[in-house]
Amino acid sequence: MRSPAVGAAALTLLLVAWLSPIAAWAQDASSLPRVRLVATGGTISNRTGGRLTAEELVKSMSGVERYARPEFEQFANLASSELTLDQWLGIARRLNEVFATDPEIAGLVVTAGTDTLEELAYFLNLSVRSDKPVVVVGSMRNPSTLGYEGAANLLEGFRVAASQEARGKGVLVVLNDEINAAREVTKTDALRLNTFQTRGYGVLGVVDADRVVFYRTSLKRHTAKSEFDVSSLTKLPRVDVILVYQGADGDLIKAAVDAGAQGIVMAGAGAGATSGTQQAAIAYALRKGVLVVTTTRAGSGRIAPPRRGPDAPPPSAGSSAAIPLTPEERLRRIAGEDLAPVKARVLLMLALSKTADPKEIQRMFSEY
């Protein structure tokens, strides 16, 4: 007959064998990186009958526990066009606060509406002072629509935020299995799922079934290396974007200046050409102390700073250089480099929050 001691020992061995995989899984789960969702709203939350909360969004991600320990908080739950610039400042301060007070957090995911996602993402790229990943995600279809891709985009955003390789790459935009840099990405289609693209440069990487893969990185200054500190900033300066089109009247530029704009971004034709009476209005803005940034409406291409000095080419007829201006006034004309007009506005707002020196602001446009 088997003794009670032998029976108890056998039972113990069976229990250990049964519980060991569970204990190992629990240990593995506890070692996964912590990633927090900071939800702001957008189509990804816009369910018929009421918006999904941050908690509901996290629960919609099947399999997230394989990659990260998810957390969540609700910052706002609005359409992207309803977010104010003051809320932009609040989001940036909140992300900086999380990184400063919770050193164990691996990364953050921010949900946003796709209509203005690229603007918010670039603002965070300039104002979040950490090399830990910040990933902005959204969706083109709402949760009540057949083919809703929000949960998949969110899961991929968590995977990228949990990835060690994502550190130091700036704010990232993740949708449709692709990783793009916040500085470079543009919404290119009003409806299609592959709308977010980086023209000319291509994606930073992809999110595949087996792993997150990066192919390149952005060399421009951002995040931890940024000089912009929004911790005590209460208001962003007013900057307006004016489109160039055939026979455009300069009155819109003058109206923006008279309404208090500190900066104007011109979405120029081709390599920055204007039309109609816009050049005279630009001269009006420069004389009033307003900075004018030249960009292109073409979708890609670099606007280089003008050549100055004795070897500079003569001004063409009708150009702002042909209009009588002082050297100081001419310096207020800033080259927007390869930034899209809406992103040039973001950078100019932050630049003007630090300085009105046009040489310094031109430096910022070259570095960021």
State the catalytic residues.
43
Spatial neighbors of 122 by CB under 8 A, at least 6 apart, are: 171, 182, 183, 343, 346, 347
Strand order across the beta sheet in which 333-335 lies = 239-243, 263-268, 291-296, 333-335
Rounded CA separation 114/116 (Å): 6
Q: Which two tokens stand for residue 79?
A: 């359409």
Instruction: Pick the closest to residue 71 from 55, 95, 88 (CA basis).
Output: 55
Instruction: Pick the closest to residue 201 from 337, 338, 298, 297 (CA basis).
Output: 338
Strands (E), the chain: 34-41, 69-78, 105-111, 134-137, 172-175, 178-181, 186-187, 196-197, 205-207, 212-214, 239-243, 263-268, 291-296, 333-335
Look at the block and give the residue holding tokens 């003569």.
314
Instruction: Pick the closest to residue 214 from 176, 169, 183, 171 (CA basis).
Output: 169
Rounded CA separation 80/360 (Å): 31
326 by Cβ neighbours in 10 Å (0-12 / 13-18 / 19+) ranks as: exposed
